[in-house]
């Protein structure tokens, strides 16, 4: 291959990367141009309201310039975009729905209101956050009037008395959807499912240690502001880990299927066997030499056989002549 051809290929790759980066911006800059705080922008990406693309140069995801132009040209920008990613806690959410905080909490524990985020405050209490837009839609739906104004049905009250709380599970289901939407690799999709399972469950489903190690490379980090290993981080990990038997079962099933798909797409890397030192070829044995008898076979050799001289006809001619002269000299 000529040097001109190699130069052409390197230049073409460089131009393609440059063009991709020129046609997109970093997430930080995109958030600034869209008038969103960082947390609002990240939620907009998770909800699929802002599209990102991989960075060909190996950096983090970027936002295409035409995506920013599309959002800015939409009706109601920027208020509509901010409204779509606004989150509220229990107190503000209850006020928005015009219900008591107690009723709001009961609706959330029953799984009727699904949290979109959570954090652990300085008192180690879990604070659930909800999309204000979804709460508004729930409160204006006439089918929910009895739940908002009437007495909670007896069956639901019994479940609440028994400790039912579907907020962690509903958050996990929603969070998994966010992760799968952003995963651009089969192994990343499998790692997203694995991130909600206890390590023992993962080892039981994925028995190959190299595949488990590959999954850990793609494992998404839980975005928390607490330091690793702190009580708040441990509590967050507990929330992010499935505990209900039926939830664990379907996650295990999904993980097995996702790993099977990823394995077919690209097997997990394995270490290359290290080649040992080359052994020299054995030297050829001298003509007439015999190999030593194996251990345990020496009893098959006749006693005194080593003292027997070879027959006269098998001796070399020069040896027979030498022996004859020696005998004549002795006589």
Taking the C-alpha atoms of residue 13 and residue 11, their distance in angstroms, rounded to an integer, is 5
Taking the C-alpha atoms of residue 258 and residue 316, their distance in angstroms, rounded to an integer, is 79
Instruction: Say what the pLDDT of residue 284 is.
Output: 55
DSSP of 292-308, one letter per residue?
PPPTT-GGGSPTTGGGP
Picking from 83-97, 195-209, 285-299, which range would have the lowest pLDDT averaged per residue? 285-299
| pLDDT tens digits along 120-133 | 999 999 999 999 99
Reported as a pLDDT band with limits 50, 70 and 90, residue 221 is: confident
- Pairing relation of β-strands 62-64 and 87-88? unpaired
Q: What is the pTM (predicted TM-score) of this model?
A: 0.75
Dig out the tokens for 50 from the structure.
């802002």
| 95 vs 292 pLDDT, higher one | 95
Q: Which residue's structure tokens are 């209900």? A: 244
| pLDDT tens digits along 27-76 | 999 999 999 999 999 999 999 999 999 888 777 899 999 999 999 999 99
Facing residues of 120 across strands?
Answer: 126
CA 104 from centre of chain? 36
Please state the length of the chain.
331
Mean pLDDT, all residues of the chain: 84
Q: Which residue's structure tokens are 């959807």? A: 177
Q: First and final CA of the chain: distance in angstroms?
A: 87
| 322 vs 85 pLDDT, higher one | 85
Picking from 62-76, 199-213, 273-287, which range would have the lowest pLDDT averaged per residue? 273-287
Residue 307 clears pLDDT 50, i.e. is over it: no
Per the CB < 8 A criterion, the answer to whether 219 and 197 are in contact is: no
Per the CB < 8 A criterion, the answer to whether 56 and 20 are in contact is: yes
Per the CB < 8 A criterion, the answer to whether 47 and 85 are in contact is: yes
Picking from 67-71, 121-125, 256-260, 275-279, which range would have the lowest pLDDT averaged per residue? 275-279
Taking the C-alpha atoms of residue 275 and residue 89, their distance in angstroms, rounded to an integer, is 61
Ramachandran area for residue 221 (φ above 0: left; ψ -120 to 50: alpha; else beta) = beta
Instruction: Say what the pLDDT of residue 10 is.
Output: 41
| 303 vs 194 pLDDT, higher one | 194
Instruction: Say what the pLDDT of residue 214 is.
Output: 97
Sign, CA dihedral 95-100-103-105, equals positive
Instruction: Say what the pLDDT of residue 274 is.
Output: 75
| 303 vs 254 pLDDT, higher one | 254
3-state secondary structure of 64: strand
Residue from 116, 94, 100, 114 nearest 152 by CA: 100
Residue from 151, 84, 147 nearest 111 by CA: 147
């Amino acid at each position: 291959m000529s040097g001109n051809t190699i130069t052409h290929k390197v230049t073409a790759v460089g131009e393609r990367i440059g063009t991709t980066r020129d046609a997109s911006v970093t997430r930080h800059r995109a958030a600034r141009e869209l008038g969103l705080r960082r947390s609002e922008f990240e939620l907009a990406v998770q909800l699929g309201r802002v599209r990102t693309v991989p960075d060909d140069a190996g950096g983090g995801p970027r936002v295409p310039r035409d995506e920013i132009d599309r959002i800015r040209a939409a009706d109601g920008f920027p208020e509509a975009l901010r409204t779509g990613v606004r989150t509220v806690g229990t107190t503000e959410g209850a006020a928005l729905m015009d219900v008591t905080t107690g009723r709001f909490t009961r609706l959330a524990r029953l799984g009727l209101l699904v949290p979109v985020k959570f954090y652990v405050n300085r008192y180690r209490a879990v604070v659930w956050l909800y999309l204000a837009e979804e709460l508004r839609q729930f409160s204006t739906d006439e089918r929910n009037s009895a739940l908002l104004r009437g007495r909670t049905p007896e069956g639901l009250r019994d479940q609440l008395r028994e400790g039912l709380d579907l907020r962690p599970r509903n958050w996990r289901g929603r969070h998994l959807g966010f992760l799968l939407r952003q995963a651009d690799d089969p192994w990343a999709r499998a790692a997203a499912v694995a991130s909600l399972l206890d390590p023992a469950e993962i080892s039981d489903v994925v028995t190959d240690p190299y595949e488990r190690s590959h999954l850990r490379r793609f494992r998404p980090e839980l975005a928390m502001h607490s330091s690793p290993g702190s009580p708040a981080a441990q509590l967050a990990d507990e929330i992010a880990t499935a505990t209900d038997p039926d939830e664990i079962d379907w996650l295990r099933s999904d993980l097995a299927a996702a790993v099977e798909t990823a394995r077919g797409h690209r097997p997990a890397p394995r270490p290359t066997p290290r080649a040992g030192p080359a052994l020299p070829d054995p030297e050829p044995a001298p003509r007439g030499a015999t190999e030593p008898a194996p251990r345990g076979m020496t009893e098959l050799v006749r006693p005194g056989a080593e003292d027997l001289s070879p027959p006269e006809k098998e001796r070399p001619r020069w040896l027979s002549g030498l022996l004859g002269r020696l005998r004549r000299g002795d006589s």
